[in-house]
Amino acid sequence: MKHRFILISFIVIAAGILFIGRNKTYSRDIYGTFDTLCSISVHSASDTTEQYENLLRELDRKLNAHTSDSLVGRLNSGETVTLAPEMTDFLCTAVSYTNMLSDYFDITVNPIVESWAKAEENSALPDDIPQKLKLTGADCIHIDIDNNTAQLKEDGTSITLGAIAKGYAANVIADKMRQDGISSGLVNLGGNIYALGKKPDGSEWNIAISDPKNSAQAAVTVKCTDKAVVTSGDYERYFELNGKRYHHIIDPKTGYPSESGLNSVTVIDRDAELCDVLSTALFVAGLDEAKSIIEKFSVDAIFIENNNIYYTEGLRDKLILNNEKFTLIPLNQNNL
């Protein structure tokens, strides 16, 4: 009996080793979703990346603000839209972040985003920002939770999920990977990164954070396990007019690209959606107002301001500096 038990244990362990040994890394680049290049890789026994691509395309079809037949497009054209229950949940979450962080994060800034898109097209500053500011605020959108419907309340109002959708999508894909039993994977939705589990060799993932002045180069690398790493920066999308840079992150109080002095903010947490919201919000808030937000949501963050890289306590042993021009500065009671 004892021998049989040892033999069975041996077979089970050997089969396990054989199975793990058969795992390979499968990667795929995905073009044309979320207005950016996305890539997904998994370390598993078979290639499951196609189903994650399909999932990503399905989410993009719903959440893209630029297509008129998407859920967001239909809402923005004034339709009362019937939602799948998970979309009701997602919209409610986006609205509740807008309520909690209204000075910094507001999904109803879309009329202003459109004014700035026109400004770029015409190479002329917008002259309608004061009127557009009146069309913003979380009360513009009405969600009927019982009937799973949503509508915008006023003519001219519209929403963008550009600052939260990629984080939501990264969560959905990471959750699906977990359900599929994948313990090592990497999701990169145009810089919204989900590092699932550990690297195939068992060590921590190394996620590079761009130098905002030269985004192809890394400023600092963060080591992490099973975390989302999401960055908002003034170098990601911008245009220049009369020598001044106008980037894509709007201060909901002024209707102008935020001028907090920060060049980028990276937020690190298990919840990619929260990271996406907070990287945008903290970028607008700036260092001085960051403390209460970081404490409220208990996340780690990296702030790049010129050649200074500020980081929260939880990242103390997790950072590797890639460029000597930067100085790493821990955030503490004195400077946060």
Among 81, 87, 284, 290, binds ligand AMP (CB under 6 A): 284
> Should residue 269 be labelled a site residue for Mg ion when binding is judged by CB under 5 A?
no
Q: Which is nearer to Mg ion, 116 or 197 (CB)?
A: 116
Among 60, 234, 276, 300, binds ligand AMP (CB under 6 A): 276
Asked if residue 162 binds ligand AMP (CB under 6 A), the reply is yes
CB of 105 to ligand AMP, least distance (A): 4
Asked whether the beta carbons of 89 and 171 are under 8 A apart, the reply is: no
Please, what is the minimum distance in Å from the beta carbon of residue 153 to Mg ion? 25
Cα separation of 177 and 335, whole Å? 39
- Which of 280, 285, 293, 294 binds ligand AMP (CB under 6 A)? It is 280
Nearer to ligand AMP, 182 or 277 (CB): 277
Longest dimension (CA), the chain: 86
Q: Tell me the number of residues near Mg ion by CB under 5 A.
A: 4
The separation between the first and the last C-alpha atoms of the chain, rounded to the nearest angstrom, is 65
CB of 144 to ligand AMP, least distance (A): 23
Tell me whether residue 102 or residue 148 sits nearer to ligand AMP (CB atom). 102
d(CA 218, CA 200): 23
250 binds ligand AMP (CB under 6 A): yes
Q: Is 163 in the site for ligand AMP (CB under 6 A)?
A: yes
Residue 173 in tokens:
């894909």
* Footprint on residues 191-230 left by Mg ion (CB under 5 A): none
Choose one: 150-158, 172-180, 234-242, 280-288; the region binding Mg ion (CB under 5 A): 280-288
Enclosing H/E stretch for 88: helix 85-100
Q: Which segments of 245-314 does DSSP mark as H helices, in order?
A: 272-297
* CB of residue 281 to Mg ion, shortest distance in Å: 8
- Burial label, 166 (beta-carbon count in 10 A; 0-12, 13-18, 19+): buried
Amino acid at 279: S
Q: Does 273 bind ligand AMP (CB under 6 A)?
A: no
Alpha-carbon distance of 233 to 230, in angstroms, equals 10
User: How many Å apart are CA 45 and CA 42, to the nearest integer?
Assistant: 9
Task: Give 82's strand partners.
Answer: 149
* Residue of the chain from 43, 227, 248, 318 that contacts ligand AMP (CB under 6 A): 248
Is 163 a binding residue for Mg ion by CB under 5 A? The answer is yes
105 in contact with ligand AMP (CB under 6 A)? yes
Q: Which one-letter amino acid corresponds to residue 240?
A: E
Question: What minimum distance in Å lies between the beta carbon of 226 and Mg ion?
Answer: 20
Encode burial over 119-133: b for 16+ CB neighbours within 10 A, e otherwise.
Answer: bbeeeeebeebeebb
DSSP state of 324: T
Q: Confirm or reject binding of residue 282 to ligand AMP (CB under 6 A).
A: no
CB-wise, 252 or 286, nearer to ligand AMP? 252
State how far the Cα of 138 lies from the Cα of 328, in Å rounded to an integer. Answer: 37
d(CA 233, CA 211): 10
Q: In terms of CB distance, is 249 or 309 closer to ligand AMP?
A: 249
Binding residues (CB under 5 A) for Mg ion: these are 163, 276, 279-280
Binding residues (CB under 6 A) for ligand AMP: these are 105-107, 109, 113, 160, 162-163, 232, 236, 248-250, 252, 276, 279-280, 284
